[in-house]
Amino acid sequence: MITSGIDTVYTGAYQNPYVDASIQDAQCAGVVVYSIYTPSAGHFGHSYWRTYWGQNYLSQLSEETGGESYYMAGPEGPVSFTPYLDKLNEQLANQFLLTFLAEPQKKAARESVKITSEIHSVDFLYPDTVCVPALPE
């Protein structure tokens, strides 16, 4: 997704309910979100506060779904998307599907996960929580 990440509806900063809902929806649908920051136009585009939180929201959404967020520090947009798209292409070519069995409970919930490797130089991008369905009735 290429966006500023700026939320023009929610004026708070911490615990944005729209970002939280988006993360939950993406995690439960098994969608990995990669984002590229580009500035917004108009007033929101030159508001340092909104730009800062827009980048934070994109980072949060991407990281918590197992993706990555690309941006330059500060409110400037990239001169070119090519380096970001090249990195994304490299990451997508090196992704693997990991499955595991989660024990369903009475109520559907999100559960924390941690993935590690015996090889110390390996870096994983993965969602920090997964959706666990409820027991069938």
47-91 pLDDT per residue, tens = 888 888 889 999 999 999 999 999 887 777 888 899 999 999 999
Q: Kindly state the tokens that stand for 128.
A: 């920090």
Domain borders along the chain are 2-95
pTM: 0.84
| β-pairing verdict for 69-70 and 109-112 | unpaired
| β-pairing verdict for 2-3 and 35-37 | parallel
Residue range 121-134: mean pLDDT, rounded: 87
Residue range 20-47: mean pLDDT, rounded: 88
Supply the mean pLDDT for the chain. 87
pLDDT score of 135: 85
The residue ranking higher by pLDDT, 100 or 19, is 19
Residues in CB range of 28: below 8 A, 6 or more apart: 110, 131
